[in-house]
Structure formats: structure tokens, C-alpha cells
Amino acid sequence: MTVGLDAAVLLARAQAEAGYDDFGDPTLPERFAQAVDHLNGIGLDANGIAAAERVCHWLLTSRLMMFADRTRVPIAEEVIDRPMFVTGEPRSGTTLMHALMSVDPHARALRFWEVMYPSPPPALAAPDDPRRDNADADWREINAKMPKWLHSHPYNDMLGDGLPEDERTWAFDFRVMTPTAWWRVPMPALVAGLPTDPAAQYRLHKAMLQQFQYHREPKYWVLKGFHGFRLKAFFDTYPDANLLWLHRDPVQVAASRTMMMADILDGIVGPIDLRVEAKNHLEMTRASIANTMTSPVVDDPRIMHIPYVDFIADPIGTVRRYYGFCGRSLTPEAEAAMREYLATNRGDRYGKFRYSTTLLTDIGESLDDLHAEFAPFRERFGVPVEKRD
């Protein structure tokens, strides 16, 4: 019989190893216990339990050491000045937009090696700091397990220097359990059902930005995440932030994200039922579009809305417009770096990512009915119906 995880034992072991006992949030032990209950209840074999134990220990000790750093040096005094964020539905060009801004020599983006191994602050690391190498090795393992993911997300070839979404910081809060960079555990993704607290989640996100900014050359942050459901807490935490919101045809979004997740899960748990996945992702897309259409914060003047097709037609022009919207200038050296990125990082460099809207018709949906359903959204944000197949 496989022996499960023990939350209390894992918490105590992490505190002993870190030499620090404050997780920075008194609710974390209870939340961690819920995460452990989930892991113990999904039928992991001995290897899966061992993998989950390693991941939990890594996240717990990393969090403890990061908060210990904040007691030793004045990290909490770091000011996050006018950060620039990108958001949108999955598969809407947000990663490319973020990647372009990340090569601006005047900008700073989160990097996987930092977020995966947040302590100590990079500015205080030793010359032989192994974290970049460790994160590169982690990502080589991920890419080997999930080679199809490179078709839809070729950015994974950046390895530890890659660009995490803002939600990745919440792995250390046990509010997301996504089996990719952190949860290298043979389990389905868990993106709902865990306790949420947007204000607390953004506090942790800001703490990480402060951690990585501390004692380094001043630069402005360029970031990317799925912030549409948490706009009030987002702007409460970052009142001087700006947000670029890319909008794409929801039918294409639902089909593309279905195939992308199928490719990811194929490398983790094996082949999945595409019909089930398509139903799930269509419902998630519907919920997100409904939120976009009803949230009173969507029309906040700090948000710039751009159709995906306009961005794809002129990526650099879109970046320039967004910089102007934020009161910043796109410098010649930044533009040159972005054009070089586009020229040397073709989206199909690992093979063309293929998906079809037949994923939706196969589950009994009518494309005409879906286009009619999403017409108010498309009209509001200038989003055309995309014809791909």
C-alpha cells in the first residue's frame, strides 16, 4: 500500500531545513494541508508520491527562505514603479507581446530561474550561483517529457531564462497546482477548487518583484498574467500599473487552448479524451468572456484594449502604442532588439502547431451559434471572426 503525504511532517521538515519558521501568511499551513489532501486523493503511485513530496518541500523551503531574506535586508522598501502588464485569453498573443517587451534593455521581466528559486535576491547571489543551471536542467526535463508543447509554446526553449506568467508566483502559495514548471507530478492540472484570495496572491506577487528588483539597476517591470478575474485586487496592489488586454475570437481561443493542454497532458498523464478537454475549455472560455463583459473594471482608463489580429498584423506598432499609452517611449535600441527577436524566433521553429475548430463541432457545438453567442463581445472590442479551417 502506498503511504501518502503528511502535511504536518512536511511543514516541520521545511522549517527545520530553512532555519526559519515564518511562512509570511498564517493561513498557509491550513491551505497546504488541503493541497496535500488533494494529492493523497488522486491515486498517485509510489513514484508520484515521491515526486509530490519533492515539489512540496522545494516550494515550502523556497518560500521560507524568501521571507527570511526580507528580515535581513530592506527588500520590502522596494518601490514597484508603474509596472506594465499584458493580459488576455490563453492563445491570444500575450506571450509574444510579453517576449517583445522583455528584450527592451530598459525593462525587467520575471525569469523562470528567479521565480523557481527565489532566494537569495539575485543581486546578493554568489558568483557561482547555481540557480540558472538548475532551472535550465528543470526545463530540459520538462521539454523532454512534453515535446509537443514546443509546437504551441516554442518560448520553452529559453529554459530557465524563460518568461513565467504572474500566476506562477502563486505556486508558493498553494493556490495553483499546474503540472508544468513546478508540479512535475503525474497528475491532471488543478486550476480550480483551491482557496483563492486575490489580495493575498498579489501581495505575494509584489513581494517577489521586490525580491528580484532589490539592489539592481533601475528598470521598469514588464509582466504577463491572466488578470481579468482579479482586476480590483490587481489595481489595489498596483495602482499606477497599466494593462494591455489582447482580445481574440473566443472560438479560436477555445479550440487552440484545448489542443495545447492536450499536448501538455499527453506528456504527463498520457493520452486524454479530447472531447472532455474541449468541453472544459469551451466552458472556461465562456466564463472568462462573461466576466470580461460584466466586470465594471474592464473600462478602467489604465487598461488599453487591442484586438489580437491588429497585434499580429503589426507587433512593433502595438508595442509602440502601448508604451505611449503608459507614458513611456519605445527607444531605438529597444525597437531594434524587438525586431531582432521577431526575425530570429519564428513561432513554428519546432513545427507548426495544428488545431481545428472541429474540436468544438465534435462535441455538438455549432460554429454559427458560437459566433452568434460571442457577437456582443466581438462588437465591443473590435474582434473579427477568424477563418482558419
pTM of the shown model: 0.95
What does the pLDDT average to over 137-146? 89
What's the pLDDT at 184? 74
What does the pLDDT average to over 112-134? 96
Q: In sequence order, what are the beta bridge partners of 224?
A: 86
Q: How far is CA 311 from CA 175, 253, 285, 305, 388, in A?
A: 32, 15, 20, 11, 17
What's the pLDDT at 329? 96
What's the pLDDT at 387? 85
What's the pLDDT at 73? 98
DSSP character string of 148-207: THHHH-GGGGGGGGS---GGGGGGGGTS-B-TTTT--SSS--B-SSS---HHHHHHHHHH
What's the pLDDT at 190? 65
**Residue 180 above 90 pLDDT?**
no
What does the pLDDT average to over 223-247? 97
CA-to-CA distance for 389 and 387, rounded, in angstroms? Answer: 6
What does the pLDDT average to over 204-218? 97
Nearest by Cα to 334 from 82, 98, 100, 155: 100
Residue 270 or 369, more confident: 369
Cell of 64: 521560507
pLDDT band at 182 (very low <50, low <70, confident <90, very high): low
**Residue 1 above 60 pLDDT?**
no
Contact 5, 40 (CB under 8 A): yes
pLDDT band at 362 (very low <50, low <70, confident <90, very high): very high
pLDDT band at 193 (very low <50, low <70, confident <90, very high): low
What's the pLDDT at 134? 94
In whole numbers, what is the pLDDT of the chain averaged over residues?
93
CA-to-CA distance for 45 and 31, rounded, in angstroms? Answer: 23
135: Cα within 13 Å, side-chain hemisphere: 21
Query: pLDDT tens for residues 65-79?
Result: 999 999 999 999 999
What's the pLDDT at 179? 64
Query: pLDDT tens for residues 32-60?
Result: 999 999 899 988 889 889 989 999 999 99
CA-to-CA distance for 147 and 233, rounded, in angstroms? Answer: 36
Q: Which residue has the cell 455538438?
A: 364
What's the pLDDT at 269? 74
What's the pLDDT at 272? 82
